[in-house]
Amino acid sequence: MSISATPRRIGLIGLGLMGRPMAMNLLKAGHALTVWNRTASRAQELVAAGAKLAKTPREAAAEAEFLLTMVSDPPALEEVLWGHEGKNDGALGGLRAGSIYIDSSTISPALVRKIAAACAERQVRFLDAPVTGGDWGAREGNLVFMIGGDEATLKEVEPILGVMAKKWFHLGPNGAGQTIKLAMNGILALQVGAMAEALALVIRAGLRGEQLIEVMQASMARSGVLDVKSPLMVKGDFKPSFPLRLMHKDLGLMLDLANQLGVALPATAAAREVYSYVKGEAKEDLDYSAVMRFWKK
């Protein structure tokens, strides 16, 4: 879905694994980009490529026609948006009436609604727009956005999304994007967790993990995520593409939402226990496929 873009003034907050390559693609497409990151040194490469570095989230938002945020979790986003007491440094305070704010962090639908209300007070249009595709998708401009919010606003941001994504879905009002994203990550966590369990069994039985992978790839059990993750799980290569700490966060957000809605998710709850254990034991940042380590004790 690549669309050629007229240069726009864009602010981008959050230069982690995902935000950095997304920002680089926006710069390469010719947009005027102002970035802010809590750890300023992570902006070096982008500044060298032409981005302006803001001193505060508020400053990153102040000139922006479009503001994007890509931070780790709900507390991080609240800090960035509402700022620190007495400092007047939050991004919301900087946003101009008429601008569009797009959040691509994975957060709760409840926080989405709080942000939507704060934006409405300021005549700012807001989309929840979490993504899937990992850091590879972010680098290649191949992300998939899941959008909640007004359809006419989405139309306006499509030229910008087209720089970062191959596809996007309009899923309903604010919160719909996050709800679908949490449900999808629940499936990924369970699939990878199930693969880890099956590999543990096969290997303990004296067979090779590769045998299970080969058969699975020729069967109905085949899936994109398992094609990518299972060979790395057998090798024990857990370099983070989607960090386990973030998958653990998403399982928590999914269970909170299920609790609010009165839906029982027993398999998700069990999976979260396993991810919690591995997260607690890990000394370094690992990919979520490291859930495999639960069976390597």
Residue 78's contacts (CB-CB under 8 Å, 6 or more residues apart) are 111
Please, what is the Cα angle at 254 between 143 and 276, to 5 degrees?
Answer: 95
CB of 233 to ligand NA7, least distance (A): 20
Q: Is 147 in the site for ligand NA7 (CB under 6 A)?
A: no
166 is catalytic: no
Site for ligand NA7 (CB under 6 A): which residue of 42, 96, 113, 114?
42
Q: Is 46 in the site for ligand NA7 (CB under 6 A)?
A: no
Residue tagged 């998700």 (tokens):
268
How far is it, in rounded angstroms, from Cα 278 to Cα 259? 24
Instruction: Please identify, using beta-carbon distances, which residue of 16 and 175 lies nearer to ligand NA7.
Output: 16
Q: Which of 52, 181, 235, 239 is catalytic?
A: 181
- Assess contact for 77 and 119: CB atoms under 8 A: no
Residue nearest ligand NA7 (C-beta atom):
16
Site for ligand NA7 (CB under 6 A): which residue of 25, 34, 56, 72?
72
CB of 79 to ligand NA7, least distance (A): 4
Q: Is 15 in the site for ligand NA7 (CB under 6 A)?
A: yes
Binding mask of the shown chain, residues 231 to 270, with x at each position contacting ligand NA7 by CB under 6 A: ---------------x------------------------
Q: Is 79 in the site for ligand NA7 (CB under 6 A)?
A: yes
| Stretch binding ligand NA7 (CB under 6 A), from 11-19, 81-89, 188-196, 212-220 | 11-19
**Amino acid at the residue 81:** L
Paired sense of beta strands 9-13 and 66-69, if any: parallel
CB of 123 to ligand NA7, least distance (A): 25
Q: Is 90 in the site for ligand NA7 (CB under 6 A)?
A: no
Site for ligand NA7 (CB under 6 A): which residue of 46, 61, 64, 71?
71
Residues near ligand NA7 (CB under 6 A), total: 20
Q: Name the residues that contact ligand NA7, by CB under 6 A.
A: 14-19, 37-39, 42, 70-73, 76, 79-80, 105-106, 246
So which residues are the catalytic ones? Answer: 181
